[in-house]
Structure 1
Amino acid sequence: MAVTATPSNLRKQPASQQKVDNIIQPFLHKDFDPADYLNSALPALSTTVTPAQSVQHGRTVPLPELNAQLQTVLSQVNAQMTRWSNTLTQLTDEIIRCGGRLAYEVEVLRGDTTGLTDVLDNRLRKEIELLAPRHDALNGEHLENEVVTSSPHEELPKPTSAADEPEYLNQLRTLTAVRSRLDAVIQVFGDAMAWPLAPSEIGAMVGLPIPLLPLAHQYVKTGSLQALATPNKPANGADLPILRHQDQDLYYREHGDRYGIGYYGHRPMPVVAASLGRTPTHVDEKHMPSRLDFTAEDFKPAWEASKKLLPVLREAEITDGFNGIFSFTPDGGPIVGQHPTLDGFYVAEAVWVTHSAGVAKALAELLTTGRSEVDLADCDLARFEEVQLAPAYVSETSQQNFVEVYDILHPMQPRESPRNLRVSPFHARQQELGAVFVESRAWERPQWFEANAELLQDLPAQWRPVSRDVWSARFHSPISAVEAWKTRTAVAMYDMTPLKRLEVFGPGAANLLQRLTTSDILKHPDQATYTLMLDNGGGILGDVIVARLEPDSFHVG
């Protein structure tokens, strides 16, 4: 029941006081207080649990006070439950990390065991035979019941002491014990390693989130076409170039006397890679985990569009079709390179088949020389912010990239969703000034402010931007030129919140930054230096501004 208080001068009075029941008279009084009335009319409440405790404390607790105490207790319980929940989550994450790491170590041990097997079986066979027990030594009970006879003049063999044994025999015993232990470990964990794991799950073993989403991609082959049949043409050969039907998300290529048709216009169909099961013993183009059942209904629009584009297909039929698997990332690019903190762990994922040879060459160069001839900065594993690694973000953005894979997008076209995931403390004020935002690494960053439009009339001729056609004028405003003019000739304020900043301080900070950058940063405090940071091969990792705050304190942004 809800009780609302009404000012006494607005409270409706009964037409006749004599007609009002005496029971409700107290409620009509102008000084009536519901809380005081309940405390006086109801039995007293106590915080005690037992009668003995009630007598000991000897007091009752009003309802408001009891409510306050209850809220305090509930807050304490809730805080404790939150701490326990966080602790449980941390322990769970630690167990998952340890389990993944153990599986990784087991796989390393598996390789070591294979190497030991080769040494034991092929290189040290003769030495191993020296350790092999005799047949009669395998049955101690039989020897105990057997009478040993010998000639009085026959000299019994003397037992060999450990000191007389060659060192390599001790090493062999150690190797045998190690191999036995490794076999036991692999027996326990080996079955789990035989299952195919998604890249994200393999990355989790070494603490590396891999933001990608496998999606189904349709591909079909037609029956034999007389128009494509030529003498001595290989079964998978092609004489014509690949054809792309951009507006319908289609592409075509020859397979001998048949056409192959790929289609991106269907709905996004995410695939759970871990559900694909074991890799079959026999693998070919029609038997592999990445070949999923064909969903013919999704391909119908593509088939109709293909028959309109290529008349030769109007009498043809689809004889083979499947849903393949193609991984997409939040920004649509591949993921290539080494784990940021674990040497020897490399990733090459979300790679188009047309790029595969180049990626293979670049990765081989990384593995052998430590540096690729092709700049892989845009493919770097660590290019995504933490918020961009969230499964929901990866799923939505990757599916959108699949939908737009054949679309002609303006390079400055902003993402429509998800947005407003990360905003600066000045976001509200920027909105008031008419900021036009773009999304960058999940941050909302203003491109220009409509509040500065009135300055266009004062813009000097030498600062006026060149005229643009309709396409290049999209997602652009001449206000940007005004803001650049004022930045150079007056004063401007920029929001640097989305940019990473590092504080480097302590003994040796100056020498460290002097060694890592290309400019002289040993300036007086309160001075800044624009400089570059390079890799071991002289390639540019990034441009930074190093500000010296104190002799041993620097701000890098």
Structure 2
Amino acid sequence: MPDIPSSARVVIIGGGISGCSVAYHLAERGWTDIVLLERRQLTCGTTWHAAGLIGQLRASRNMTRLAKYSADLYRRLEAETGLATGFSQRGSITVALTEARREELLRQASMARAFGVEVNELSPVDINALYPHLEVSDVVSGVHLPGDGQADPANIALALAKGARARGARIIEGVKVTRVTTDCGRVTGVDWRAGDEQGHIAATHVVNCGGMWGRDLAAQNGVTLPLHACEHFYIVTEAIPGLERLPVLRVPDECAYYKEDAGKILLGAFEPKAKPWGMSGIPEDFCFDQLPEDLDHFEPILEKAVARMPLLAEAGIHTFFNGPESFTPDDRYYLGAAPEVAGYWVAAGYNSIGIVSSGGAGMALAAWMDKGEPPFDLWEVDIRRAQPFQRNRRYLRERVSETLGLLYADHYPYRQVETARGLRRSPLHEHLKARGAVFGEVAGWERANWFARPGELREYRYSWGRQNWFSNQRDEHMALREGVGLIDMSSFGKIRVEGRDALAFLQRLCGNDLDVAPGRIVYTQMLNARGCIESDLTVTRLSETAFLLVVPGATLQRDLAWLRRHLGEAWVTITDMSAAEAVLLVMGPRARALMSRVSPDDFSDAAHPFGTAREIEIGLGLARAHRISYVGELGWEVYVSADQAAHVFEELTDAGEDLGLRLCGLHAMDSCRIEKAYRHFGHDITDEDHVLEAGLGFAVKTGKGDFIGREAVLRKRDEGLSRRLLQFCLCDPEPLLFHNEPILRNGRIVGQLTSGAYGHALGAAVGLGYVPCCGDESVAELLGSVWQIEVAGRPVTARASLKPLYDPTGARMI
């Protein structure tokens, strides 16, 4: 029976590479009383059978940062611990078999250069020189990342465990955590069982690194951890005589990856439709186990692989392997503090990239636990993005059957998931559908992204060029600019904060001054202690003691968690009202005329100025009209109870017919907001972007008194800015921008775009992005540089501006 302590500072649940990495990095930071409990043996779940590919380039700068950290860590672990990790920096090649994939690889290469990752573009001849066994007659192009490699996953985990033990962590096998215990919303420890023995460890922190088992363990405490196991297949050949050391090879158009190791080839697959597994939970005794072979399922991959690498036809199959791995609804893992229980942390759901992710994820989580905040923006993988409904097992089973295959699918811009759809719908969903809406999904909400014309196909035709909805978006965009458009934004997060201390509570959290008259709308940010942006929102004062906070639907859970974290002893009630009200945006130069047709109220600028909200009569009912705009035009957001929403929609559409009212989607709203240089949380502004560097100092009132981040704002004002957010408009009207394209100043990469879209009113693609600046540099010097945006390897000249290129004075919103 192992000697199990009765208390610890932190208990880590799970002895795969993720748990071992967290233990290692907490110990490296000087934490003591670290206990890791593994139900069976270290690495026995998923880690032991992972392929061990180390690819540094990820979808964003910070995810790449974490992957590069992992590679560096695994390179030095062997020297530190004396355990071989099998790390071999042999590079990787990804090949394109289509022009669409070639465009994707070129854009990825541009992104790699912006992120500081070495990358080389390859011709078919170049590919054949690096990988001579490959059939390249139909290969279009490829890219080579020399810094990539491969490693032995189990040995890395054991080396991390050894390093953690050397710094005092206790790692105990054969002990299962049966429950995380809590009291008053805080972790108090874990209950454990080992054979016939059971007991309790008191702890203030618990980290769920339970992999496939993590979801059900989290659910015991009401913690949302949406993941589901899928079967993952690969084969390993017999030794092939004369086979030399080869780089890792990916052929995503054939759903395959290849890894040479000890003269054998491992061929793995991310097939388009995966096989979920463990619908009734993961078996208690699962340990270094395999799942039944399914050669019929793998055969289409194998058939293409033999044609791609003919030597496989002569090689015997040594191992046909099928093992489970956990996948998430959006193909991104979960990291951070669970919002439901204080002291409950998560690092799980790695979507088959757990080896390259776990080193960096363990480092980042340890820093987060140590300092109380993430070391940099981790919103992509933040557990707070998870929605409570995603605990539903049928939803997870359906979705992960798709997300496994999306790893190697074409990563087209605006690509929409297809499975597990239709759960969260606006009260106007059927009205929009009947009028040609083509829906996308955010946080489970079905939202009209664009509207098909009569007779048009109501689906996406993806490409890297102008997709089939481009002209639809242009018409919707220009309706908002020149006429009047109607957008359903019922997916907004709506949080009611009320009570005796509501004003003082929000004044402490928000940078702007909320001590305004009832009916006033205040645009503000909630900042962290570094003056960076935790939330971007509007706050409407409804009464002396009640406020309505409107946030993006995708960040609702994050924002609720931030509010509750800082509640303390305040007499305040926080209520999620998101489903109670629909929201209709009436926007454009003719918005006032339309509103006046459906309501007897006065919508003149004098009676209803910008930044105010009031109750109005509309049709036969009542609503609340907010004079605010995210598209940069005159307009109102109409908040109406869900039961009256359809009536109000019908009143507006009937009255707007001869005004040219057009239903508009989220794509048009996004292109309008980028054209107007409005920021978007998660892209242009994050919790590592200082509010002043984001150009939002106008929304911060340091004179109102103390608030979180005030000292950091004052300090930055004194020190001066080191970077600024600029808007760019391409001088060539043809190329398209999405995000992450490199920004070049005088021929040198200095940053990358945070967001981009086609600006139909400006006549070219537009983007936003941060660039370095010097304190003594004038605006004229900054903007007078030669600016370019690299699009798929080609630099395109751009205009740069600090002010919005569209309507810089805001005159159109009057």
- CA deviations 1:325-369 (Å, max 9, x no partner) are 221111121111122132332211122122222212112212222
Find out whether 1:246 has 2:252 as its counterpart. Answer: yes
In the alignment, is the contact (CA less than 8 A) between 1:452 and 1:479 conserved in 2? no
Residues 1:542 and 1:190: Cα distance change in structure 2 (over 3 Å):
farther
**1:244, CA displacement in angstroms?**
0.7
Q: Describe the shift of the 1:186–1:437 C-alpha distance in structure 2 as closer, same or farther (beyond 3 A).
A: closer
Could you say if the C-alpha distance between residues 326 and 428 of structure 1 is closer, same or farther in structure 2, counting changes exceeding 3 Å? same
Task: Call closer, same or farther: CA 1:356–1:553 in 2, change over 3 Å.
Answer: same
CA change 1:204–1:417 in 2 (3 A) is closer
Secondary structure (helix, strand or coil) at the match of 2:542 reads: strand
Work out whether 1:548 is the aligned partner of 2:541: yes
Structure 1 residues 113 and 361, CA, compared in 2 at 3 Å: closer, same or farther? closer
Indicate the residue corresponding to 1:111 in structure 2: 5
Question: Alpha-carbon deviation of 1:555?
Answer: 1.0
- Give 2:338's aligned amino acid: H
| Aligned match for 1:220, one of 229, 235, 244 | 235
One of 374, 386, 396 as aligned partner of 2:388: 386
Q: Which residue of 2 aligns with 1:341?
A: 340
- 2:308 corresponds to 1:278: no
Distance in 1 (alpha carbons) for counterparts of 2:484 and 2:371: 48
Report the alpha carbon displacement of residue 500 of structure 1 after superposing the two structures with TM: 1.2
Q: Secondary structure at the match of 1:543?
A: strand
| Contact 2:274-2:400 within 8 A present in 1 as well | no
What amino acid does structure 1 have at the position aligned with 2:248? I
The answer as to whether partners of 1:336 and 1:381 remain within 8 angstroms in 2 is yes
Deviation, 1:535, is 3.4
Q: How far does residue 384 in structure 1 lie from its aligned partner after superposition?
A: 2.8
Judge conservation of contact 1:434–1:450 (CA < 8 Å) in 2: yes
1:257 aligns with 2:263: yes
Q: Any conservation in 1 of the 2:272–2:402 contact (CA below 8 Å)? A: no
Contact 1:388 1:441 in 2 (8 A): no
CA deviation profile, 1:170-209 (whole Å, cap 9, x unmatched): xxxxxxxxxxxxxx9979974699x998112211232213
- C-alpha separation between the residues in 2 aligned to 1:469 and 1:298? 27
* Secondary structure at 1:550 match in 2: coil
Q: Which has the higher contact order (CA 8 A, sep 6+)?
A: 2
How far apart, CA to CA, are the structure 2 residues paired with 1:402 and 1:259?
A: 22
CA distance in structure 1 between the partners assigned to 2:318 and 2:438 by the alignment:
52
| 1:350 aligned residue | 349
**Structure 1 residue 223: deviation in Å?**
1.3
8 Å Cα contact 2:273-2:402 kept in structure 1: no
**Partner residue, 1:476:** 469
Determine the structure 1 residue equivalent to 2:318: 319
Residue aligning to 1:199: 214
> 297-306 vs 352-361, which deviates more?
297-306
Other structure's SS at 1:363 match: helix
Deviation of residue 276 (structure 1)? Answer: 3.8
Seen in structure 2, the aligned counterparts of structure 1 residues 276 and 504 have a Cα distance that, compared at 3 Å, is closer
Q: Give the Cα–Cα distance (whole angstroms) in 2 for the partners of residues 406 and 420 of structure 1.
A: 25
- For 1:192 and 1:292, locate their aligned partners in 2 and report how far apart those are by CA, in whole Å: 33
TM-score where L is the length of structure 2: 0.39
List per-residue Cα deviations over 1:295-342 (Å, max 9, x = no partner): 344333333322221233232111123112221111121111122132
Where does residue 371 of structure 1 map in the other structure?
373
Q: Given that residues 433 and 449 in structure 1 are in contact (C-alpha distance below 8 angstroms), is that contact kept between their aligned partners in structure 2?
A: yes
Separation in structure 2 between the aligned mates of residue 185 and residue 398 of structure 1, nearest angstrom:
31
Deviation for aligned residue 1:475: 5.5
Query: Is the alpha carbon distance of 1:430 and 1:292 closer, same or farther for their aligned partners in structure 2, counting shifts above 3 Å?
Result: closer
Quickly say closer, same or farther: Cα 1:240–1:451, change in 2 above 3 A: closer
Q: Which AA in structure 1 matches 2:493?
A: K
Please give the secondary structure, in 1, of the residue aligned with 2:517: coil
**CA distance in 1: counterparts of 2:363 and 2:211, whole angstroms:** 25
> Within 5 Å, which residues of 2 pair with 1:41-440?
111-112=5-6, 190=197, 198-229=213-244, 239-265=245-271, 268-272=274-278, 274-278=281-285, 288-289=288-289, 291-351=290-350, 352=353, 353-440=355-442
Equivalent residue number for residue 450 of structure 2: 448
Task: Say if 1:472 and 1:548 are closer, same or farther in 2 by CA, change over 3 A.
Answer: farther
Alignment of 1:457-536 (within 5 A): 471-474=464-467, 476-487=469-480, 492-536=485-529
- The total of aligned residue pairs comes to 350
Q: TM-score, normalised by structure 1?
A: 0.56
In structure 2, how many angstroms separate the alpha carbons of the residues matched to 1:113 and 1:301? Answer: 53
- Deviating more after overlay: 530-539 vs 202-211: 530-539
Question: Is contact 2:412–2:462 with CA below 8 Å preserved after alignment?
Answer: no
* Partner AA of 2:428 in structure 1: F
Supply the distance in 2 between the matched residues of 1:407 and 1:530 (Cα, whole angstroms). 39
Query: Over residues 45-71 of structure 1, what are the superposed CA-to-partner deviations in whole Å (9 max), with x where a residue is unaligned?
Result: xxxxxxxxxxxxxxxxxxxxxxxxxxx
Cα 1:412–1:316 change in 2 (3 A) is same
SS at match of 1:365: helix
Specify every segment of 5 or more residues in structure 2 that has no aligned partner in the other structure, as ranges.
10-190, 201-209, 456-460, 551-814
Relative to structure 1, the CA distance from residue 437 to residue 301 in structure 2 (aligned partners, 3 Å threshold; closer, same or farther) is closer
1:252: how far off? 0.6
Please state whether the residue corresponding to 1:520 is helix, strand or coil.
coil
Relative to structure 1, the CA distance from residue 448 to residue 316 in structure 2 (aligned partners, 3 Å threshold; closer, same or farther) is closer
Q: Which runs of 5+ in 1 are unaligned?
A: 1-106, 116-183, 230-238, 281-287, 454-467
CA distance in 2, matches of 1:212, 1:508: 39
- The one-letter code of the counterpart of 2:397 is S
CA RMSD between the two structures: 3.5
Q: Distance in 2 between matches of 1:258 and 1:203?
A: 40
- Deviation per CA, 1:410-437, whole angstroms, max 9, x where unpaired? 2313333333322222223323433332
Aligned partner of residue 518 in structure 2, secondary structure: coil
AA partner of residue 365 (structure 1): A
The structure having more radius of gyration, on CA atoms, is: 1
Q: Deviations over 1:54-112 (max 9, x none)?
A: xxxxxxxxxxxxxxxxxxxxxxxxxxxxxxxxxxxxxxxxxxxxxxxxxxxxx9x9531
Secondary structure of 1:393's aligned partner: helix
Question: Which amino acid in 2 is paired with 1:400?
Answer: E
3-state SS of the aligned residue for 2:521?
Answer: strand
What one-letter code is carried by the residue in structure 2 that aligns with 1:308?
A
When residues 307 and 189 of structure 1 are mapped into structure 2, their CA distance, relative to the original with a 3 A threshold, is same
Distance 1:536 1:271, change over 3 A: farther
Q: Distance in 2 between matches of 1:521 and 1:472?
A: 44
**Amino acid paired to 2:438:** V
Cα 1:192–1:327 change in 2 (3 A) is: farther
Say if 1:328 and 1:188 are closer, same or farther in 2 by CA, change over 3 A: closer
SS of 2:226's equivalent in the other structure is coil
Q: 2:416 and 2:373 mapped to 1: Cα distance?
A: 33
Shift of the 377–308 alpha-carbon distance from structure 1 to 2, 3 Å rule, reads same
Corresponding letter in the other structure for 1:211: P
Percentage of pairs with the same residue: 28
Kindly indicate which of the two structures has a greater share of residues assigned to helix.
Answer: 1
Deviations 1:141-179 (A, max 9, x none): xxxxxxxxxxxxxxxxxxxxxxxxxxxxxxxxxxxxxxx
CA separation of 1:110/1:480 partners in 2, compared to 1, >3 Å: closer, same or farther?
Answer: same
Separation in structure 2 between the aligned mates of residue 490 and residue 416 of structure 1, nearest angstrom: 34
Deviations 1:4-33 (A, max 9, x none): xxxxxxxxxxxxxxxxxxxxxxxxxxxxxx
The 8 Å contact of residues 200 and 209 in structure 1, kept in 2 or not, is answered as: yes
C-alpha displacement at 1:382, in angstroms?
3.0
